Amino acid sequence: MAKQSYQEFISQHLKLDHDLESCIYELFNPNNVMLGDDFFVASALSMCTYLNADYAFIARINPREETLEMLANCHKGEIVQGSVLQCDDEPCKQVIADNIVTYKESVRAAFPDSKLLKECEAEAFCGVPLYNASRKPIGVLLTLYSHKISDAKKIETLMFMYSSKVGSELEHRDRQLELRMHNMELLVFKEELISKNRELDQINNELKKVTLKAEEGNKLKSSFLANLSHEIRTPMNAIIGFTELLKSNNLSVEEKDEYLNIIYQNGNQLMRVMDALIDISKLQAKVYVEQKQRVRVNKMVSELHRNYSQEIKAMRKDIRILMLPGAADGMDILHTHKEALCKVFDHLIDNAIKFTHHGTVYIGYTVGDGCYEFFVKDTGVGIVKGQEENIFDLFRQGDVEKSREFGGNGIGLSIVKKYVEIMDGSVWAECNQKEGALIKFIIPMK
């Protein structure tokens, strides 16, 4: 060993021995109350000091972008501006996959294509992943050295200690950011709800005219209004009640997340009721205006499948939704009213999910002679025999007892029928189904 290298070895070894106790004290000192970005910066500086590193990085994994976002970047005791790395950039990829990665020397030779190692002129390297409470990687700690490292075991020990503290703080920070985002979404949702209420007030007079002209008579009208009141009051009570609970300072993050999810689900339910009322008002008044356009059917059905799969997951219902396209991409072009087609699917899928406790909902289409035949099938409670035609009448509900159990206001399928007629098509319910319901509708290609 050359004289200079030997002196470096002794110096580094003594420094690690001397600083080990100080490092442990600093890490676990109960008087250290720094949080968030200040904590990450202080930790990076501390790593440079106690691990005798030229560079120290603390980075968070961004799963959407597949990148590493620098939270703190220290070079020889100085904080420098952060950057973004790709998760598949070696040796970061290896750190995320493994528990710890250490190269005592010649690390650039091991990873000649690494942009990070080249820029830092690194000779040695040590990296550990940061985990959340579920042992899922959420970030990395990296230290780079312009010299060989002699006591890798002590460096790894200190890196593990840092990773425990930094990982906990990073998880706490992410949860706080997520909670903040939920609160912002709740505020936006509240504004949308207020706007929908104003819109509902504006169409209230028109709705009264529609109910007076309905051929169902007083019994159907009374039933509709009672159901509508229930459909509005039930989610509104949940929204108001859980909003009040959120004002408490004694709630855990998990409880707040649960309450926010309940508010969001009930808000969605209320928005759908209001949207249905607005739709039926426009359709009855014949003021619906939309130009035909070129629709990529597979893309539209795929988006419906994705959105409703996420909604079912949030509802925690034991239902899966399957997509059955009838043509290949590029051969699935239909010229029609896109918004009307989406509305038809929305109401049919909502009904299928509502009346299915557990099982499967199928959405898809087949291509016939000059037309598309769409369908929504479920494995739910089905349609009462003999009611297959009546269910599309305004305010009509196939089975009153089932409607009380599952909810509904009797206008969804009427909206479906009117939108299908706008697209010059026809809709019907298949009879004699062994289980569940099967609704089909035909739309001409031109």
Assigned fold of 293-444: Heat Shock Protein 90 (3.30.565)
Q: How many CB atoms lie within 10 A of CB 94?
A: 14
pLDDT of residue 320: 94
Give the CATH H-level superfamily of domain 3-174. Answer: GAF domain (3.30.450.40)
pLDDT of residue 227: 61
- Alpha helix locations (H) across 293-337? 297-315
Distances (CA, A) of 87 to 97, 114, 137, 435: 10, 12, 12, 48
Q: Is 18 exposed, middle or buried (0-12, 13-18, 19+ CB in 10 A)?
A: exposed
SS3 399: coil
Assigned fold of 177-285: Helix Hairpins (1.10.287)
Distance CA 194, CA 140 (A): 44
pLDDT of residue 70: 86
**pLDDT tens, the chain, 446 aa long:** 444 443 444 344 445 555 666 766 666 666 666 677 888 988 888 888 888 899 999 998 888 878 888 888 888 878 887 677 776 777 888 888 888 899 999 999 999 988 888 888 999 999 999 999 888 999 999 999 999 988 888 889 888 888 888 888 899 888 888 888 888 888 888 888 888 888 878 888 787 777 665 555 555 555 555 566 666 777 778 888 888 888 877 888 888 888 888 888 788 777 877 777 777 777 777 777 788 999 999 999 999 999 999 989 888 889 999 999 999 998 999 999 999 999 999 999 999 999 998 999 999 999 998 999 999 999 999 888 888 888 888 766 655 455 544 455 568 898 999 999 999 999 999 988 888 999 999 999 87
For the full predicted model, state whether its pTM sits above 0.85: no
